[in-house]
Structure 1
């Protein structure tokens, strides 16, 4: 028999612009929601015309999230991801510091349809690499406003800059300081909107979950849900985070994020648990030239990490985290910053962060400084080597 007789004809291409939703529940009850059904535009019968009238247009800029159940970690991540975007979309969240959700819907796709989507839509994310054959999979169709870069990339780009380098370029320094103020204020305002106005827990606050609205001005920054820190905060600060996250956990994570923003700490932070993470470290919370209360703010938001935490009021509600901006007369000039840098070098032997960590075991807190303890950094904080004892 000729080869052509044995080979199957390829399935017709799926027309992404023609879709219909219909109820779906498989016989095991595992996958449920709404099935995304494709129709062919070439058909002209009455049935197809009825289907066509219910079609949903999917622009190519949509992000398609494919979810596989029921692995526990995958389910927890994807459930939180789904809840976040679904909640914001259904409640028509509208705030200058929250990434706006244009469309969100839950569907079910077959493996064949998924493969077609992968070829048709460039922005498609698989949360699991291996999919069962001939099965249906829940997925999310998500579209949000555009953004330009994430905060973690910005911190990484700027973290190698030392105080002395910045002091030698006053214009660059002031630009950086003002941008840090705007980023911190945007984080606080966005989180306040979620907590106070929507009564909603974010659950994954970190530099990876903050994006820039513009490639030029950067501001305003906007919160979205990347989910990268969900397991870190939940597993290591259980007194603050439940599986669903808590407002106290959001505040705690935001405090650590503010420290990363104002001190340009680019490395991921994980809690020291006593085994497997190396020795505990002590991280100095530094003054900020424009934010007068940055130390009190960070310690108040991270109560279990401050050595002198009893002297600083704990921040219970995110709306109580207010920035105190210094007036222009209080901002240090170039010569003052250079003198402070030289003095710091003489005191510590070098302006290296890991030297500060070593000194933490030998001296009490110097006046004017606050230390956070039991933090372990992975990578090279400030681009100057690992912060390990």
Structure 2
């Protein structure tokens, strides 16, 4: 089952291992969670239940405390971009329904037109009152993250508990990270990469989260050594920027084991790994997180990488796996009609089956055998569902629900 950020935090509430590192300060996970609880109490005192608040800050400890506080209190953190100015920034605040904005002192002048109360982070006092964590579900909203706005005004993307917690847990398991590791986060935390491929990975694995206020190419390797970072995330061109720093004979003498991100230049992946003695994994995936690829130095040029576990290429007409592509001597595909299909996360119809089985008011004979997704149900003029039309359409386009201990049926798609 998909965890929530609240569950991941509470699992660390008594953990004495290092949870957060920033400059020369360190917090254990227990202290980190306690700080999140204090900020949760402060948010509860200032905002309506479930209210949204903006945060305009670099990667500082308060960002982590407020994100955890939002999870524990049921509020929604809106990550604001400090490159926005004046009316543009005020537009983002209004679009995200912020009741108030917290900001570092250096960014206060940018919020002169915010239109809502603005509180300096230096004036935000965490409360010592006991906090009863608000129950959260994976589909509950935790954060709004704005797109970069390269093709128009930035859009506020909904990031639920599940959307933040799931990739963290998945990557922590995939890469075998633990409390013995340290995740270095230098990408801006008002963007999704730092939250989903950095902060949540540390939270899910129990690794220490080492925050860098802002990314620095020249500061990358010194930080890795200072914090003992074994994992780092990136987006865009940071790999190239780090590679452009003067090379030294001892560059590979560092604790870094794995670097994970997306949009890295293909030529940089192998060079970075060799120079710094680590493994670089560059990923491609859907925004929703359901379909993902991984590529590294051994991936052929131009390839998105290999499908990860649980993802398959299925024929739309039958739901069956497509055969691998075959090529002639010139690289031309010979069986494109059969090899091209839809990318599908095949791990969902198992969670659905488990959900159905867990329902105490459904007997075995009442469990759905097939599921078909439609945009709308056929209805009469009085809005009654036309069951005969649904029955006539049959299960040819439906997915079979596979329950443990039941035999496979021959109708419908294979799921």
What TM-score comes out, normalization by structure 2 length? 0.24
State the structure with bigger RCO (CA 8 A, min sep 6), 1 or 2.
1
Q: Which of 1 and 2 has greater Rg?
A: 1
Higher helix share: 1
